[in-house]
């Protein structure tokens, strides 16, 4: 009787161990722009494959890349390419970053719905965000103070915007810095004089999109690079992705994953796999 019970317990232990061994955990961390893409695709893959456990965390592109280099995540989500300094740090830590472009995006200028200004030039954007233009009447709008809403320093969107729009000049010291795309959109919704920038997937009905140099961001203008603030979105892994990490990235790059990216308002890759 005792041998029989022991045999059953050992069998259960083996089955449990096998089940735990098959359970695949993936941690992705970083860009809040990429966050909704990661959340939606991860949820879909986990629903189809209960053995997958994908944990998604925000925090900003810089946070995600630092987490990857420190071994705290499997995938760094980033709305910008890795910097030379980060690559040098990776080499010191014996980390070999592998870049995967997962989608295209645009940094979209948004204003309050009641704002009469619907078009700006690159020079005007630069002057607004560096504090040289401070009132909407200087741009043909109402006599109202401009409230500049920007992302914070941990954001890849902040760094890309600085590079593409400000040519490296500093954002106005009066700018209200926000920790996420959603925070920027919400701030612009609340203040009639506000202007901010978000990824394509964060354009809500309570804000108005401003064209830049006469071009409005869209799938077509992003893919053909006519919209001046177009960019790529990335996943980074330590070396070529393997196992569950590869399975997840392959899903994001598949037709099903790219269709979800389009549904979220971002631009799918035209070379998306089937």
Specify whether the CB–CB gap between 167 and 122 falls below 8 A. Answer: no
- Answer yes or no: are the C-beta atoms of 98 and 236 closer than 8 Å: yes
3-state class of 22 per DSSP? helix
Q: What is the pTM of this model?
A: 0.83
Given this model, what pLDDT does residue 239 score?
98
From the CA atom positions of the chain, what is the Rg in Å? 22
Mean pLDDT of 59-74: 96
Residue 87: half-sphere exposure toward Cβ, Cα within 13 Å: 6
Domains observed in the chain: 2-103+233-263 (3.40.190.10), 105-230 (3.40.190.10)
Is residue 21's pLDDT more than 70?
no
* pLDDT tens by residue, 75-88: 999 999 999 999 99
Question: What's the rounded Cα separation, in Å, for the pair 180 and 29?
Answer: 14
The predicted model gives 105-116 an average pLDDT of 96
> CB atoms < 10 A from the CB of 113, how many?
13
Residue 10 pLDDT: 33
pLDDT (0 to 100) of residue 204: 82
Q: What is the mean pLDDT of the segment spanning 41-49?
A: 96
Phi, psi angle pair for 60, to nearest 5°? 115, 155
Tell whether the model's pLDDT for residue 191 goes beyond 70.
yes
Check residue 4 and give left, alpha or beta (phi > 0: left; psi -120 to 50: alpha).
alpha
Residue 137, pLDDT above cutoff 60 = yes
Name the band, by pLDDT with cuts 50, 70 and 90, for residue 154: confident
pLDDT-based confidence at 24, cuts 50/70/90? low
Q: Calculate mean pLDDT across residues 202-215.
A: 93
Query: What is the chain's mean pLDDT, rounded?
Result: 89
Task: Give which of 153, 160, 125, 182 is closest to 233, Cα–Cα.
Answer: 160
């Amino acid at each position: 009787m005792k041998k029989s019970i022991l045999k059953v317990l050992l069998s259960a232990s083996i089955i449990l161990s096998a089940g735990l061994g098959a359970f695949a955990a993936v941690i992705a961390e970083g860009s809040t722009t990429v966050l909704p893409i990661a959340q939606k695709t991860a949820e879909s893959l986990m629903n189809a494959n209960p053995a997958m456990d994908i944990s998604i965390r925000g925090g900003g592109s810089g946070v995600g890349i630092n987490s990857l280099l420190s071994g705290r995540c499997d995938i760094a989500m980033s709305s910008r390419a890795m910097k030379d300094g980060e690559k040098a740090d990776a080499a010191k830590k014996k980390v070999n970053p592998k870049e995967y472009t997962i989608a295209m995006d645009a940094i979209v200028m948004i204003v309050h719905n009641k704002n009469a200004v619907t078009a700006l030039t690159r020079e005007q954007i630069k002057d607004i965000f560096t504090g040289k233009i401070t009132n909407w009447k200087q741009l043909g709008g109402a006599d109202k103070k401009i409230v500049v809403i920007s992302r914070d320093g941990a954001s890849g969107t902040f760094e890309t915007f600085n590079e593409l729009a400000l040519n490296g000049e500093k954002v106005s010291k009066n700018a209200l810095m926000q920790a996420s795309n959603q925070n920027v959109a919400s701030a612009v919704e609340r203040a009639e004089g506000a202007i901010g920038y978000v990824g394509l997937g964060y354009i809500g009905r309570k804000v108005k999109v401003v064209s830049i140099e006469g071009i409005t961001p869209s799938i077509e203008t992003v893919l053909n690079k006519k919209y001046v603030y177009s960019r790529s979105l990335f996943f980074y892994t330590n070396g070529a992705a393997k196992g569950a990490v590869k399975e997840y990235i392959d899903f994001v790059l598949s037709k099903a994953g790219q269709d979800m990216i389009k549904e979220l308002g971002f631009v799918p890759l035209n070379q998306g796999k089937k």
